[in-house]
Chain A
Amino acid sequence: GAGVSQSPRYKVAKRGQDVALRCDPISGHVSLFWYQQALGQGPEFLTYFQNEAQLDKSGLPSDRFFAERPEGSVSTLKIQRTQQEDSAVYLCASSPTGTGSPYEQYFGPGTRLTVT
């Protein structure tokens, strides 16, 4: 079946621009995660949704970052007034369950954001 998809795959933004990154999780998956990955590092947690509820946004770096999943499927990560330090790969992952096991997360290909 179809995996997690993300769009756009690449985004170049000028400093100060707003961007919106989209994630289409695997159909029926309850949990959705956003991560930020710097080159040569593991993913860093940003936020978590269980269905449409955003249960944790503690990883969002600043109030310029905002995420939503209004109907419990597609999610959008929005970054306002982008800064150079926002340049990274943004990964989306989904999982079929909530907080219980099994707990494997299935990742999309990521969106590479470059802020110039």
Chain B
Amino acid sequence: EDQVTQSPEALRLQEGESSSLNCSYTVSGLRGLFWYRQDPGKGPEFLFTLYSAGEEKEKERLKATLTKKESFLHITAPKPEDSATYLCAVRSLMDSNYQLIWGAGTKLIIKP
């Protein structure tokens, strides 16, 4: 069964303290892996798409990497405004062409 697991469930960091969020996935062939950010009371906001192992994408203080079994979202010198829930989703080659399988998210809190 296709599955996405994110860890940790919650992460508290001091401002400037770098860390990584993990997204482990089990799918019957990966068509794409997606990272989203969700603020309270808002819909998810698209961040990155990764398609193949070894691929990396960067945006400001965020960098996403991908292996054959997991993806990491690295956050460098975070600021309080980076506080949000970060969601990971995958699109499987074997599932319907359009369905995404979502993780439960990691709630990131950056303390000033």
Chain A residue with the shortest CB-CB distance to B9: A40
Q: Are B98 and A107 in contact (CB under 8 A)?
A: no
Interface size on A, residues (CB 8 A): 28
Any chain A CB within 8 A of the CB of B45?
yes
Instruction: Known contacts A42-B87, A48-B99, A103-B91; decide if A108 and B32 are in contact (CB<8 Å).
Output: no
**Complex: chain A residue closest to B45, CB-CB:** A107
Total A-B pairs in contact (CB under 8 Å)? 64
Q: A99 touching B103 by the CB < 8 A rule?
A: no
| A93 and B43 form a contact (CB under 8 A) | yes
With an 8 A cutoff between CB atoms, is B80 at the interface?
no
Q: From residue B91, how far is it (CB to closest CB) to chain A in Å?
A: 6
Query: B34 contacts which chain A residues (CB < 8 A)?
Result: 103-105
- CB contacts (< 8 Å) of A106 on chain B: these are 46
- Beta-carbon contacts under 8 Å, B36-84 to A: 36, 41-46, 49, 51
A105-B42 CB under 8 A given contacts A42-B89, A56-B99: no
CA distance A56 to B100 in the complex (A): 13
A107 in contact with B44 given A48-B99, A56-B99 (CB within 8 Å): yes
Given contacts A42-B102, A107-B43, 10 further A-B contacts (CB under 8 A): A31-B98, A40-B105, A42-B105, A43-B102, A45-B100, A48-B99, A92-B43, A101-B32, A101-B51, A110-B43
